[in-house]
Amino acid sequence: MHDDTDEVDGLVAAWGRERPDLVLDPMGIWSRVKRLEQYLDSARRQAYAEHDLEVWEFDVLAALRRAGEPYRLSAGQLVRETHVTSGTMTNRVSRLAERGLVERSSDPDDGRGVLVQLTGTGRQSVDAALVSLLAAEEALLEGLPEETRQRLADDLRALLQRQATDASA
């Protein structure tokens, strides 16, 4: 391999040698996406750990923070925001409440509903973790020119929108 090739080029070439009857272009894309996901996952875990947070904790706290003042969502809204089951969310909210990062209250508009609100400590934690996350994500993109970054974001957006449309059809 020379300077502008990577390990994915090697595996695609090997499959091409073994299975010349197949179109392997998708493998070149998705294998790289998978490898990048592994780097991103590691960087995110480390960024959150610096602030004593797990990935799932950041996800819940970030959903509340993004909601804007008063940083409160119903349990159902949190389920939709974080793509987990209601049982999983109940467990997560309980654990975050035990740590003093969120508070629960009854929903005045729904007698059976629960509202979850970010505490001051929760807001400080998620804000600090976000700064670390952005630094880690920037490090992963280091050296890519702005034009390349924008093109990559645009291409990934188009692919994601297509997948979301196909999934809802």
Task: Note down pLDDT in tens along the chain; length 169 residues.
Answer: 457 899 999 999 999 999 999 999 999 999 999 999 999 999 999 999 999 999 999 999 999 999 999 999 999 999 999 999 999 999 999 999 999 999 999 888 877 788 999 999 999 999 999 999 999 999 999 999 999 999 999 999 999 999 888 888 7
Contact 142, 148 (CB under 8 A): no
For the chain, domains (ranges, CATH) are 1-45 (no CATH), 50-168 (1.10.10.10)
DSSP 8-state class, residue 19: -
Confidence (pTM): 0.86
* Spatial distance between the Cα atoms of 40 and 113, rounded to a whole number of angstroms: 35
CA-atom Rg of the chain in angstroms: 21
pLDDT of residue 2: 52
Residue 48: how many CB atoms within 10 A of its CB?
A: 25
Residue 65: how many CB atoms within 10 A of its CB?
A: 18
pLDDT of residue 161: 94
